[in-house]
Structure 1
Amino acid sequence: MAKSPTSVKDIFRRFSSIRRSKKKKLQINNTEIPINPCTVLQITDYIERDMLKEAYLNLLSMRLELQKELKAVGEGAPPANLVNKETDVNDLLGTLRNKMSAIVRNSNALPSCNKELLVYVVHIILEEEKRQGEPGAIQGWREAWRDAVRDGVRDTLKKVHLDNREQNASRLEVHLGLLGKAVVEDLERVKTELLSSYPADFKVFETYVSCHHEAVGEHLKRLLEKVTELKDYYALLDFIIHRYPSDLKDNLIMEEDLLNKIKTSYCHCQKDDFKSAMENMITSEKEVWTMKKSPDRTDDGFLTSKTYMATCQLIASYAGNLEKIDENMVESVVRFCLEELNQFHTRFEEEFLQHTHSLLTSDLLDCCLWIEYHISYINSFNSLKDNVQCYRENCSSQVEQLEKEVDGLIQRLSQTLIKHFKTDVKPYMDGMMTKKWLKTNEDFKEVTSRIENYRGLCKSMRAPSAQVFVNDVHYNIAREYVSQLMKKKYSCKKTKNEDAAIKLREQWDELKKLFEDMGSSLNWLYPLGDHLSDIIGMENEKKIKDLLIPLVTNYPDISKKQLSAVLYFRDNGFSLERHSVINQFTVLKRDAGNTNHDHSFFTDIE
């Protein structure tokens, strides 16, 4: 490596050759330290003009003169002129050290211009360290040198460009990239251009590395004070963990807990970001409801909502970004998101009920849209529940709680649909088992028409909710239909019971076909229509007792009061055999005892 015109060894040899002549004169390579030093102003001028050699030689001369004069005074109080001279020496040494610090501070920016000066700086430091303890000497030369190195590094980092927020949304990310590049380039210059100006014991490169770490830590702290956006917190973390030069990262010096502070700030910001995103989703859904927009559909025809997709994508993006930063942060943020979703679902449900209720008071199309909204959210929340399973291993309690909350929300949405359906068909169900019912199918057609509508809509609902919903519709229709028999609204006369039995069987069969087509799994309901039709249509009253066995066997929760209502519908005049039938029923119920049965039906009928 090329050396400066004045090498380290040359200068060191010059300063080491300082000796006293027989005439008590000090020399450096035939250059004598002046017996009579220059004036304070002249020495100050030498310092200002970077004439370190001349300034230092004269300072040495002044200090030797001071030491000689102080020795002559002895232990008594020195006169004022010596006090002033000592002050001048200390001030000049301080000025010289400040000049040397400025040279060191600028050495990395202008290495070629300061190389020879650096050599003088180094050996002045070494000479002063030898003279520690002498009168007029000051301490801390090596420390001042390190402070100057650090200040020079700070100056370098301050010059790294940072755009205004308005100029570049990614300004911090760009700035940190330039910062890392500046650190590498600066240390490369130290290796190639500054090391030759220092002896090994200065540990120059290690010192510069340490100062860069310290300055970078300070710089990051200042940046953190101005950061408010999630992407900027991420840029800071990414810089520290990934983009800061890998061979220097282990020694990165930052203020204690700064990295944890950045992580904490990131998590807080991300939580606020997620909350805001959830509120925006509700606002977006309000627009859908207000504008009466139709829900989206998947490629396979199921109704869905962008809310589910956006929520899943958002959590996945959070987790994906943080996997590169810190696994603990992934768990913390995902855990929060899952917990916050419970709050979101509560808010969503409130807003949904409030903003869509008016659709039920409008026309049929709006009513269908209201149903579609419910189905789309039932589908979406089921999909959300499936999607969060990937977080179960690390966030099991949050996933379980979310499942519980989502299941409750899905159930409420489904029950709202069932309640609406029941309200919709009730006027027509109330017309069943009457004299009018025997003459016309108008009310029954209205019921089946509404079932048909729901059958089409249910094809847009995903499992498992679709199965549960179809079963609920089936069960409620069957219960409401049979409950009309229990109300004693009509009693058949003469052969009207046979007509009623035929009609009941036909209608029950039609309902059976509808619900089979919809995929109901309540097969145990299907025989009930035949049992009731057989009893109502039985011409021989004595044989009714034989029909009780399959009825009680399949539906053991039927009560005596309910059987009496069926017999009343068959024929109110039926009295001689009724007592015998009821007795037989009582015996069958007693023999059956309290045997558990897979299903209950009549228990739910008032």
Structure 2
Amino acid sequence: MAKSPTSVKDIFRRFSSIRKSKKKTFEINDTKIPLKPCTVLQITDYIQKDMLKEAYLNLLSMHRLELQKELKAVGEGAPPTNQVPKETDVNNLFVTLRNKMSVIVRNSSALPLRNKELLVCVAQIILEEEKRQGEPGAMPGWREAWRDAVRDGVRDALKKVQLDSREQNASWLAVHLGLLGKAVVEDLERVKTELLSSYPADFKVFETYVSCHHEAVGEHLKRLLEKVTELKDYHALLDFIIHHYPSDLRDKQRILIVEEDLLNNIKTSYCHCQMDDFKSALENIIITEKEVWTMKNSPDRTDDGFLTSKTYMAIFQLIASYAENLEKIDENLGKSVVRFCLEELNPFHTRFEEEFLQHTRSLLTSDLLDCCLWVEYHISYINCFNSLKENMQFYRENFSTQVEQLEKDADGLIQRLTQTLIKHFKTDIKPYMDGMMTKKWLKTNGDFKEVTCRIDNYRGLCKSMRAPSAQVFVNDVHYYVAREYVSQLMKKKYSCKKTKSEDAAVKLREQWNELKKLFEDMGSSLNWLYPLGDYLSDIIGMENERKIKDLLIPLVSNYPDISKKQLSAVLYFRDNGFSLERHNVINQFTVLKRDAGNTNHDRSFFTDTEVLS
């Protein structure tokens, strides 16, 4: 059967190319290809004994010889089928040689270089094989195999870096990453000092080793990530990836060692872990405070005497530490966590308030000391959350929305705590206030002393409350006491007779002045309330009813919300007997109110004062 012209031409071209490039291709360090190759077993032995040059030259000789036989067989018209096994032997030997070279390269990455000439020979063989690329029978992929061997060697080296378990060392990951970075630096230093000179420049040995370290470290970090569950370990991992590993490379190549998606996943996991940590920290704060309430421990005091709780400082320092640690790693990550923390304080306020009310309610049903402790707790947390709100102003520039919401929620909590105190105060003095403006009141001071005693107790406690809440509280208490005291005149519980009105006026003035001194000392800013006691005392104690009309002008001028019904109640307390002059006083009052019109007044007192028919 005639042979294909193409097959004959192809075989001839393969042999011709070997003859033409004989000197150029098959000389390594002036060593020529032997005319007669060794046997397969001998070449295999060369390879096993690291005699790469001998093995390679004999392989080339064997390859040439087989091509000659193939060409001869084609010339004689015989099919070259009997050459297939020999061709397979050559290919297998080339594979064995390349595998051996890969082992040598791989080991050179992890062990001190014992035979530099081996690497030189490896490089020369790779270069020779690259020159043969495109020729018949040439095996491709030699440079790729070399790079794979470098990468595998780097992987082997990294596997030897000490890695303790979490049980062995709480800082297992931070320690391991420190050793890992050190190993990378040492490996690359050894590449420069020991391996670089064994290769031609076009191998780009150092760049290849740097790239393989990046790849191997990235793979290693992926495996480590599977073991990470704690916040400190996420932090150590990110810190290593973003800061320490790139800075450890002496060539200063700022290359990410993990894919962008993986890095983002690590950041996300870290962020979630950080959020969980913050939630747990807030829960622990509540648990700690519950122990304080249960043990009935007195709240802390600052050096300047204000009641306080360490809660606000614990929260502020916690957020500050998160921000500081995270911004060093990634500014956006730090902002995300701080934003979450600020937002998480809102439900914390609600949760804290619920627990506080539940665990301190029983103090009010106990003895006086427990009641005082209950008040002190309220004041300490009013101060605490005011301080927290002030400290969080630090974040206003970058987190204005969150800080504004926090202020709103904190103000709501502070207001509720304050109103709870005021409500307790009102409940405490209400029975004694109800005893005012009666026949008994005119004769004794017992109820009034009970009222002033409780005010005095709160006066001392108010000095432990910080501004601005202290001012709000004092003003609210002052307003309530003044309103409640005056409202007793309006309830028509008692009406003076003859000289009793003068006695009542004197007593009212004295008590009002005593209240005035108490609230001045407490720092009340409701100065506009002070003249009212004098106005009412003057009306009640005025002997000549005609002159009462003259007293109405300052009263209506300063307290325009007083009603005719309320004035009538005051006059009833003075004397419930009907008289023409009393009728004239009411008429005069009506005229004054009409002339005043609907003038807006920023002060309201009598509008809130109860009147009984």
Could you say which TM-score interval applies, normalised by the shorter chain?
over 0.9
Counterpart of 1:399? Answer: 403
Equivalent residue runs for 1:373-388 within 5 Å: 373-388=377-392
Cα distance per residue 1:150-172 (max 9 Å; x no partner) = 11111111211122212222222
Residue equivalent to 1:171: 172
Q: Summarize the Cα distance change of 1:29–1:125 in structure 2 as closer, same or farther, 3 Å threshold.
A: closer
Distance 1:456 1:78, change over 3 A: farther
For structure 1, which segment, 289-298 or 231-240, has the greater mean C-alpha deviation from structure 2 after superposition?
231-240
- CA distance in structure 2 between the aligned counterparts of 1:51 and 1:466, rounded to whole angstroms: 93
Measure the CA separation in 1 of the matches of 2:70 and 2:498: 146
Which of 423, 439, 443 is the matching residue for 1:439?
A: 443
Q: Residues 457-512 of structure 1, C-alpha deviation per residue, up to 9 Å, x if partnerless?
A: 11110011111111111011111111111111111122211111111111100000
User: Is this contact kept in 1: 2:110–2:154, CA < 8 A?
Assistant: no
Match of 1:65 in 2: 65
1:353 aligns with 2:368: no
C-alpha distance in structure 2 between counterparts of 1:163 and 1:202, whole Å:
37
Could you tell me which amino acid in structure 2 is paired with residue 403 of structure 1? E
Residue 569 of structure 1 pairs with residue 573 of structure 2:
yes
Deviation at 1:109, TM superposition (A): 2.5
DSSP-derived class of the 1:135 partner: coil
Residue 258 of structure 1: how far off its partner (Å)? 2.8
Q: Which amino acid aligns with 1:94?
A: V
1:317 aligns with 2:321: yes
Deviation of 1:80 after TM superposition, in Å, equals 5.2
2:371 counterpart residue number = 367
1:565-604 equivalences under 5 Å are 565-604=569-608
Whole-angstrom distance in 2 between the partners of 1:20 and 1:209: 37
Distance 1:18 1:204, change over 3 A: farther
C-alpha deviation, 1:17, in angstroms: 13
Q: How far apart are residue 402 of structure 1 and its match? A: 0.4
Q: In the alignment, what sits opposite 1:94?
A: 95
1:381 corresponds to which letter in structure 2? Answer: F
- Distance 1:77-1:372 versus aligned 2 partners, 3 A rule: farther
Maintained 8 Å contact 1:109/1:156: yes
CA distance in 2, matches of 1:275, 1:78: 82
- 1:71, CA displacement in angstroms? 3.4
Partner of 1:169, secondary structure, is coil
After superposition, residues 435-474 of structure 1 pair within 5 angstroms as 435-474=439-478
* 1:281 aligned residue (282, 285, 304): 285
Equivalent-residue separation in structure 2 for 1:572 and 1:369 (angstroms): 46
2:126, 2:142 within 8 Å by CA — same for their partners in 1? yes
What whole-Å deviation, never above 9, does each CA across 1:310-345 have from its counterpart, x for those lacking one? 111111111121232222222211111110001111
Question: Is the counterpart of residue 294 in structure 1 residue 295 in structure 2?
Answer: no
Give the match for residue 347 of structure 2.
Answer: 343
**Within 2, Cα distance between the matches of 1:600 and 1:249?**
74
Structure 1 residue 40: deviation in Å?
3.2
In the TM superposition, what whole-angstrom CA distance separates every residue of 1:500-527 from its partner, at most 9, and x where no partner exists? Answer: 1111111100000000011111000000
For residues 296 and 458 of structure 2, the distance between their equivalents in structure 1, rounded to whole angstroms, comes to: 20
Q: Give CA deviations for 1:224-278 in whole Å, capped at 9, x if unaligned.
A: 2211111111112222333225243413432233332222222111111101100
Cα drift, residue 560 of structure 1: 1.0
User: Does the 8 Å CA contact 1:36/1:62 hold for their aligned counterparts?
Assistant: yes
Residues 418/17 of structure 1: CA separation in 2 closer, same or farther (3 Å cut): farther
CA distance in 2, matches of 1:274, 1:112: 51
1:6 is aligned to: none
Whichever residue aligns with residue 68 of structure 1, its letter is Q
Structure 1 match to 2:186:
185
The farther-off stretch of 587-596 and 247-256 is 247-256
Q: Deviations over 1:268-317 (max 9, x none)?
A: 11111101100000111111111111101111111111111111111111
Q: Once structures 1 and 2 are overlaid, which stretch shifts more, 253-262 or 386-395? A: 253-262
In 2: Cα distance, 1:468 partner to 1:430 partner = 25
In structure 2, the partner of 1:228 is 229
1:503 partner letter: K
Deviation at 1:370, TM superposition (A): 0.5
Once the two structures are superposed, the pairs formed by residues 483-498 of structure 1 within 5 Å of their partners are 483-498=487-502
CA RMSD between the two structures: 2.2
How far, CA to CA, are the matches of 1:472 and 1:419 in structure 2? Answer: 10
Q: Deviations over 1:329-368 (max 9, x none)?
A: 2221111111000111110001101111111011101100
Q: Report the more deviating stretch, 102-111 or 28-37.
A: 28-37
Between the aligned partners of 1:125 and 1:77, the Cα distance in structure 2 is 35
Paired residues of 2:307 and 2:464 also in contact (CA < 8 A): yes
> Structure 1, residues 421-456: CA drift from partner, whole Å, max 9, x if none?
000000111111111111111111110110011011
Question: Which residue number in structure 1 is paired with residue 508 of structure 2?
Answer: 504
* Structure 1 pair 492–73 and aligned structure 2 pair: CA distance change class (3 A): farther
Alpha carbons 1:471, 1:521 under 8 Å: kept: yes
Question: Structure 1 residues 249 and 384, CA, compared in 2 at 3 Å: closer, same or farther?
Answer: farther
Percent identity for Structure 1 against Structure 2:
84
CA distance 1:17–1:186, change in 2 (3 Å) = farther
Answering whether residue 548 of structure 2 is matched by residue 544 of structure 1, we say yes
Query: Which stretch of the first structure deviates more once superposed, 236-245 or 176-185?
Result: 236-245
Q: 1:303 to 1:26 in 2, by over 3 A?
A: closer
Contact 1:18 1:28 in 2 (8 A): no
Shift of 1:105: 0.8
How far apart in 2 are the matches of 1:200 and 1:555? 99
Tell me by how many angstroms 1:133 deviates: 2.6
Q: Which amino acid aligns with 1:538?
A: M
Q: 1:330 and 1:30, CA in 2 relative to 1: closer, same or farther beyond 3 A?
A: closer
Structure 1 residue 412 and structure 2 residue 413: aligned?
no
Contact 1:184 1:245 in 2 (8 A): no
> Structure 1 residues 399, 93: CA separation in 2 closer, same or farther (over 3 Å shift)?
same
Residue 14 of structure 2 is matched in structure 1 by none
Distance 2:555 2:578 in 1: 20
Q: Residue 17 of structure 1 contacts residue 28 of structure 1 at CA under 8 Å; is this kept in 2?
A: no
Q: CA deviation at 1:64?
A: 1.7
SS, match of residue 133 in structure 1: coil
Instruction: Tell me whether 275-284 or 89-98 shows the greater mean CA deviation.
Output: 89-98
Q: Which residues of 2 match residues 236-255 of structure 1 at below 5 A?
A: 236-246=237-247, 247-255=251-259
The corresponding residue for 1:55 is: 55
1:36 deviates by: 4.4
Unaligned runs of 5+ in 2: 1-17
What are the superposed Cα offsets for residues 155-211 of structure 1, whole Å, 9 maximum, x if unpaired?
Answer: 111211122212222222222111111111111111111111111111111111111
- 8 Å contact kept, 2:28–2:124: no
CA distance in 1, matches of 2:389, 2:99: 68
Counterpart contact for 2:26–2:57, Cα < 8 Å: no
1:40 match: 40
Structure 1 alignment gaps of length 5 or more: 1-15
Of 498-507 and 214-223, deviating more is 214-223
Change (3 A) 1:446 1:165: same
TM-score (norm 2): 0.92
* Structure 2 SS opposite 1:409: helix
SS at match of 1:427: helix
Would you say the 8 A contact 1:107–1:114 is kept in 2? Answer: no
Contact 2:46 2:55 in 1 (8 A): yes
Residues 17/151 of structure 1: CA separation in 2 closer, same or farther (3 Å cut): farther
* Count of paired positions: 588
- Report the AA paired with residue 417 of structure 2: L
| TM-score in terms of structure 1 length | 0.93
The residue number in structure 1 matching 2:144 is 143
Instruction: Assess if the C-alpha contact under 8 Å between 2:241 and 2:257 holds in 1.
Output: no
How far the C-alpha of 1:117 sits from its partner, in A, is 0.8
